[in-house]
Amino acid sequence: MRVTYLDNNATTRVADEVREVMLPYFSSLYGNPSSMHLFGGQVHRVIEKAREKAALLINAEPDEIVFTSCGTESDNTAIMSGLETGRNRRHIITTRVEHPAVLNFCKSLSRRGYTVTFLPVDKLGKIKPEDIEEAITDETAIVSIMYANNETGVIFPMKEVAEIVKSKGVLLHTDAVQAIGKLPVDVKDLPVDMISISGHKMHAPKGIGALYIRKGTRFSPYIIGGHQERGKRAGTENVASIAGLGAACELAREEMKAENTKVSSLRDKLENGLLKSCPDVRVNGDTENRLPNTANISFEFVEGEAILLRLNEFNICASSGSACTSGSLEPSHVLRAMGVPYTAIHGSIRFSLSRYTTDEDVDIVLERLPGIITELRTMSPYGK
Amino acid sequence: MLCYKENMWEYTEKVRELFLHPKNVGEVKDADAAGEIGSIVCGDALRLTLSIDRDTDRISDARFQTFGCASAIASSSALTEIIKGKTLDEALKVTNNDIAGFLGGLPREKMHCSVMGQEALQAAINNYRGIKKEEEEGGEIVCECFGVTDEKIRKVVRENNLNTVEDVTNFTKAGGGCGECVTKIESIIKMVMAEKPDIDDLKPEKRLTNIKKIEMIREIIDKEVRPLLLADSGDIELIDVDGDKVIVSLRGMCTDCLKSGVTIKNIEKKLREHVSKELYVEEE
């Protein structure tokens, strides 16, 4: 049965071109890139080629890119490095709406004696850059602020943030896993020190990530062992996935502009269609500064898991911020931080598109969802 | 947080069937009894209406309206199927396990949906029999996030032989929010397991004159409650004290705020803690 996949902020389909590039490293080219023989050594070249492509996507130098196992590892590594090299400074600044890879890591650090400032956001999910300036103290080791939010797609003003943080001489990391490949990022123009990148959010496979570390940044490795990645990340390289990430970066760079126009117009068609056909609906987040592929829409008086399971009957895939779909019984921390009313959080659905999303996908949702909402509302004691 | 739970796909065929094609949706016309449980804030709510044959005491019709996930909807539908045709006394014997059993089982994390069904039934029957809300909802709030009382936790722990905090969360949601009440839940479990009498019950009550009582209530409201409400641009006024009934009026934002129920509960908790365990609070 046809799958209507609108959950690309969760993960994306591996591009055919990416898969093709990866295949030899599962079969004939299985050497260890660290080996002294040519059979292994030739694989090393593949890694360096991929590093160049990843660097090019954000206008960095190849030796500023370190491959990791995922976005979460990149995030943990960056923050821990900031603390390790921070000359005993024990204060971290982040936001309340970070991905758990940063948020829960910071919470865990706060239980281990570090001080963490979690900056608030406004109703539209925006941070106030002045808040960062105010929060920075002599004790601040690192500021970690996401580039774009995974739930709402809201883009933070990273350039402004970077200028403030760097003017105070503090280290700056950004979790950009939702932005890289969707938005042009140029590190020559954006003075951040570290950037987290994830493969599977941009049509590379799961289990591969990267960390950009600006030249001259003091760095302390998180995973310790062999000398791989010039001592910055131990562990035998995931050659196939690194090659895949390189190919995915190249694709993203070549097609980003055209893709964004197409993706955002499909997203708008979906969003406007739902706003028109369903009463008591609201869009969450700042629509002026938003990823081109993301729409977070609340259907009041109905519960998200119920919506998702009804959509599932038609093989439509999306996500929800409701309590029932989270592991904690509490609904989305992002929407709560924005002060979205509970009536709307429980019924929030995130649609996230990709370059593979078609007009037909959007039409299928527009055809099915309004009926589902009406039906669930007739079942709800709050429905009209 | 946006993430999938694996167990979402572990529903039985029966849950799926009753979720996709629920039976007895809606409201019984001219209902003889209605029971409401949960709130939109907590993420699930159930309104059960019954038609009861006055001569035989039998439930002739039962309908539900549910705000919640697939298992909440399926549990509500199952409940109505189970109780139709039963006498009220028979219906009162229906446990959350019967509801889960009717569905061929529920994922452990979703057991609270079956508990909600059982509670709505209890509330509806109490409503029919004229038993007031205050009498049915004993106990003090343990879990502030989901408004779960120690009474409810004790009952569910007893009826389902629970012995871990995780299971208490699965069945009542208590402890599933900020997690601050986890140690309290642990001690409740221990207490139920030992079935020792509640220590608080053994304390002799000091004699409280009416004048003293009103003074104390006023003081608690002024010092502990009003400042919190003012911070949310609300206010509270003590209208009257009638026996153990404390009548207050909430002003400003609180009057139609979704959480006003929680606020009343909190005030009640404070008054019970500091003045007398018997007090209950009503809004004017």
Q: How far is A151 from chain B (nearest CA, A)?
A: 7
CA dihedral (A21, A227, A178, A162) in degrees, to 10, reads: -140
- Mean pLDDT, to the nearest integer, of A297-320? 94
**Amino acid A99: pLDDT:** 96
Measured CA to CA, the distance from residue B63 to residue B74 in angstroms comes to 13
Mean pLDDT of chain A: 95
- Cβ within 8 Å, pair A342-B67: no
A313 touches chain B (CB under 8 A): yes
Instruction: Tell me the count of A-B CB pairs closer than 8 A.
Output: 108
**Amino acid B197: pLDDT:** 53
CB of B15 closer than 8 Å to CB of B24: no
DSSP letter for A62, please: G
- For residue A343, the chain B residues in CB contact (below 8 A) are 40, 258
Residue B65 clears pLDDT 60, i.e. is over it: yes
Measured CA to CA, the distance from residue A277 to residue A274 in angstroms comes to 5
A41-50, A88-97, A134-143, B103-112: least confident range:
B103-112
DSSP letter for A1, please: -
- Cβ within 8 Å, pair B68-A332: no
Nearest residue, CB atoms, B69 vs list A305, A332, A350: A305
- For residue B44, the chain A residues in CB contact (below 8 A) are 303, 324
Q: Which of A247, A219, A215, A244 is nearest to A233 (CA)?
A: A219
Measured CA to CA, the distance from residue A352 to residue A362 in angstroms comes to 11
Nearest residue, CB atoms, B65 vs list A305, A333, A380: A380
Q: Please tell me which residue, A47 or B282, carries the higher pLDDT value.
A: A47
- For residue A342, the chain B residues in CB contact (below 8 A) are 40-41, 43, 258
- Mean pLDDT, to the nearest integer, of A317-336? 82
Counting every residue, how long is chain B? 284
Distance of CA A190 to the CA centre of its chain: 18
User: Scanning every residue of chain B, which has its alpha carbon at the shortest distance from the alpha carbon of A337?
Assistant: B1
Q: Please tell me which residue, B128 or B213, carries the higher pLDDT value.
A: B128
**Amino acid B159: pLDDT:** 86
A303 touches chain B (CB under 8 A): yes
Measured CA to CA, the distance from residue A251 to residue B223 in angstroms comes to 64
**Amino acid B133: pLDDT:** 65
pLDDT digits 0-9 by tens, A51-92 = 999 999 999 999 999 999 999 999 999 999 999 999 899 999
CB of A89 closer than 8 Å to CB of A218: no
Measured CA to CA, the distance from residue B277 to residue B272 in angstroms comes to 4
Question: In the structure encoding, which two tokens stand for residue B33, read together?
Answer: 């009894």
Measured CA to CA, the distance from residue A132 to residue A119 in angstroms comes to 8
Nearest residue, CB atoms, B43 vs list A301, A346, A380: A346
Helix axes B111-129, B150-160, angle to 10 degrees: 110
- For residue A151, the chain B residues in CB contact (below 8 A) are 2
Residue B232 clears pLDDT 60, i.e. is over it: yes
**Amino acid A29: pLDDT:** 96
Q: What are phi and psi of A330, to 5 degrees?
A: -100, 140
pLDDT digits 0-9 by tens, B122-164 = 999 999 998 876 555 578 889 888 888 898 899 899 888 898 9
Q: Which one from B42, B143, B181, B254 is the annotated catalytic residue?
A: B42
The SS3 call for residue A67 is strand
- Cβ within 8 Å, pair A306-B70: yes
User: Scanning every residue of chain B, which has its alpha carbon at the shortest distance from the alpha carbon of A319?
Assistant: B2
- Cβ within 8 Å, pair B67-A350: no
B143 is catalytic: no
Residue B7 clears pLDDT 50, i.e. is over it: no
- For residue A9, the chain B residues in CB contact (below 8 A) are 2
**Amino acid B224: pLDDT:** 78
**Amino acid A261: pLDDT:** 94
- Mean pLDDT, to the nearest integer, of B35-52? 89
Nearest residue, CB atoms, B67 vs list A309, A333, A381: A381
- Mean pLDDT, to the nearest integer, of A146-175? 97
How many CA within 13 A on the CB side of residue A64?
23
Q: How far is B129 from chain A (nearest CA, A)?
A: 23
**Amino acid A327: pLDDT:** 57
Strands (E), B84-161: 141-143, 148-149
The SS3 call for residue B79 is helix
A333 touches chain B (CB under 8 A): yes
**Amino acid B227: pLDDT:** 75
Query: Please, is A302 exposed, middle or buried when counting C-beta atoms within 10 Å of its C-beta (0-12, 13-18, 19+)?
Result: buried
A113 touches chain B (CB under 8 A): no
CA dihedral (A149, A322, A11, A44) in degrees, to 10, reads: 70
User: Scanning every residue of chain A, which has its alpha carbon at the shortest distance from the alpha carbon of B110?
Assistant: A324
Residue B22 clears pLDDT 90, i.e. is over it: yes
- Cβ within 8 Å, pair A151-B19: no
- Cβ within 8 Å, pair A382-B45: yes
Q: Give Cβ neighbours of residue A260 (< 8 Å, ≥ 6 apart).
A: A182, A292
User: Scanning every residue of chain A, which has its alpha carbon at the shortest distance from the alpha carbon of B20?
Assistant: A310
Nearest residue, CB atoms, A328 vs list B1, B44, B258: B1
User: Scanning every residue of chain B, which has its alpha carbon at the shortest distance from the alpha carbon of A305?
Assistant: B69
Nearest residue, CB atoms, A350 vs list B2, B4, B70: B2
A30 touches chain B (CB under 8 A): no
CB of B66 closer than 8 Å to CB of B73: yes
* Chain B residues with CB within 8 Å of chain A CB: 1-5, 8, 19-20, 22, 25-26, 36, 40-47, 65-70, 72-73, 145-146, 169, 173, 176-177, 258
A95 touches chain B (CB under 8 A): no
pLDDT digits 0-9 by tens, B74-116 = 999 999 999 999 999 999 999 999 999 999 999 888 899 999 9
**Amino acid A325: pLDDT:** 62
Candidates B1, B27, B172: best to mutate against A (most CBs of A within 10 A) is: B1
**Amino acid B233: pLDDT:** 66
| A166-180, B28-42, B257-271, range with greatest mean pLDDT | A166-180
Residue B187 clears pLDDT 80, i.e. is over it: yes
Q: Which one from A70, A106, A317, A324 is the annotated catalytic residue?
A: A324
- Cβ within 8 Å, pair A322-B45: no
**Amino acid B258: pLDDT:** 47
CB of A240 closer than 8 Å to CB of A247: no
- Mean pLDDT, to the nearest integer, of B21-32? 95
ipTM entry: 0.85
**Amino acid A79: pLDDT:** 98
Q: Hey, CA dihedral for A295, A299, A305, A308, is it positive or negative?
A: negative
CB of A136 closer than 8 Å to CB of A159: no
Helix axes A239-277, A359-379, angle to 10 degrees: 60
CB of B58 closer than 8 Å to CB of B52: yes
Question: In the structure encoding, which two tokens stand for residue A152, read together?
Answer: 């709402």
- Cβ within 8 Å, pair B66-A321: no
- Mean pLDDT, to the nearest integer, of B47-61? 95
- Mean pLDDT, to the nearest integer, of B200-212? 64
**Amino acid B9: pLDDT:** 62
| pTM for the model | 0.81
